[in-house]
Amino acid sequence: MSTENSQMPYHPSDAYCPNGSCDWLKLLTIAIPFSVLAAFVLAVVITPVFVTGICAIIVPVIAGAVLGCVAERLFRLAHCRNPKVAAGLGILLGTTMFLGSYHAYFVWSKGVGAVTRIDSLPRFIDFHMRHDVFLGRRGIQSLSPVRNWILFTLNWLCAACACAAVTTFGAMRAYCENCKCRMVKKNATAPSGKASAVVAAITAKQIDSLPEWPAVNLEGGTPASSFQLEYCPGQSQQAECGPIFLTAMEIGKGKENAFFVRRLQLSVDEAAELEKKLSFR
């Protein structure tokens, strides 16, 4: 990352940070139960390819991400702004889905009566780790419990981490505390190197001194300055509905994206003035 990132010209307290709040009643009575139900449904769906080792790693990542999207939507109903809680629940949900696929396989093997035999699941998994075989070179089947346990652990981590990544990202999205809703975004681009100029003008309270810059087409990896405004959906009907946040960064082909500010809080007037200089949409 660029060295400018360590010398950002704004005070960190001005930037948005999730406050850790949540509607715990909705989380416990709606979001978590339905997320667990989604985990069980996905466990049954992926059992044929998950347990047999087909598309190992890929299937857990995709399934974990899908489960994370479902859980994130449900956590949104509970107004979850606590990344740690969202991450912890994401890991538990991913784990539930992963182990649930083995339990579904166990029930399929032993019959419906095995649904409640959760106590037998560890022995069932251990048996498969010690006896499952895979095709080696020249089509020869070989038995490798160590390989099975390694693959089991990697699949487990992939499912849990993919789910947690999505739920955590959702909890970190900007939120309007006045209207109790997630903020929406609009973006703009400008010629490369303009992000620092915009941040400096905001810091100096001289946004009106900036020229108007044309939008840059990012296709083909063209270097450019990128800007994003996050604001409450009710902002157009109520001027003081909630804060507005600006993210400014430099992007370019073949180099790491360099942030100049992340979610710097702007006033309504500052945001309106900035929109006159950049083509937000």
pLDDT tens column, 176-225: 888 888 888 899 998 888 888 898 888 888 888 889 888 888 776 778 88
Residues 148, 60 share a domain: yes
The answer to whether 11 and 261 are in contact (CB under 8 A) is no
Say if residue 163 is in the same domain as residue 185.
no
Q: Check if the beta carbon of residue 40 is closer than 8 Å to that of residue 100.
A: yes
Residues 216, 112, single domain; the answer is no
Do 58 and 166 fall within a single domain? yes
Same domain, 155 and 213: no
Pair (147, 201) in one structural domain? no
In this structure, are 39 and 10 located in the same domain?
no
Domain final position from 152, 173, 194: 173
pTM: 0.78
Final residue before a domain boundary, out of 141, 173, 205:
173
Say whether both 65 and 158 belong to one domain. yes
Domain boundary among 173, 200, 225: 173
> Do 17 and 174 meet the contact criterion of CB atoms below 8 Å apart?
no
53 and 149: one domain? yes
Given a cut of 70, the residues of the chain with pLDDT beneath it are 1-15, 50-55, 133-143, 220, 235-240, 253-257, 259
Residues 252 and 153 in one domain: no
Q: Please tell me the predicted confidence (pLDDT) of residue 236.
A: 58
The residue among 171, 25, 182, 183 whose CA lies nearest residue 86 is: 171
Q: Which tens digits make up the pLDDT trace of 30-41?
A: 999 999 999 999
What pLDDT does 71 receive?
A: 96
| Number of structural domains found in the chain | 2
d(C-alpha 98, C-alpha 269), whole Å: 50
Residue 46's domain spans which residues? 24-173
